[in-house]
Amino acid sequence: MLRTEISLTEFESGQTVRIVEVSGGCKMRGRLMMMGIREGNQVTIVNQPSRHGPVVISVAGSQFALGNGLASRVLAQLVNE
């Protein structure tokens, strides 16, 4: 079976994705939800570093930098445009 959900760390700059799962504790999930990073929402990858740097995303007109470890806990699917 083809895996369609991958972590935010695996997408390329400029891609728009739909969040399908956020794993982690209640505090972390709550913090991400306050930023608009929740299941069903779309985000755009603004800057994808080469390896271990933060992933910069755009959500509802705001930009956030997520550390690599945090971004790896957010699974998403590419939005077909």
CATH assignment of the domain containing 55: 2.30.30.90
Is the distance from CB of 47 to CB of 11 less than 8 angstroms? no
Question: Would you say residue 61 lies in a domain?
Answer: yes
Which pLDDT does position 53 carry in this prediction?
84
Q: Is residue 37 in a domain?
A: yes
The reported pLDDT for the residue numbered 4 is 82
> How many independent structural domains does the chain possess?
1
pLDDT at 76 over 60: yes
On whether the CB atoms of residues 77 and 17 are closer than 8 A, the answer is: yes
- What whole-number distance in Å separates Cα of residue 50 and Cα of residue 25? 27
SS3 53: coil
- Give me the domain span that covers residue 12: 6-78
Q: Is residue 40 part of a domain?
A: yes
Q: What is the pLDDT of residue 81?
A: 61
Q: How do residues 15-72 score in pLDDT, each as one tens digit? A: 999 999 999 889 989 999 999 999 999 999 998 777 778 999 999 999 999 999 999 9
Residue 1 belongs to some domain of the structure: no
Closest CA relative to residue 18, chosen from 81, 79, 71: 79
Q: How far apart are CA 44 and CA 69, in angstroms?
A: 18
Residue 41 lies in a domain: yes
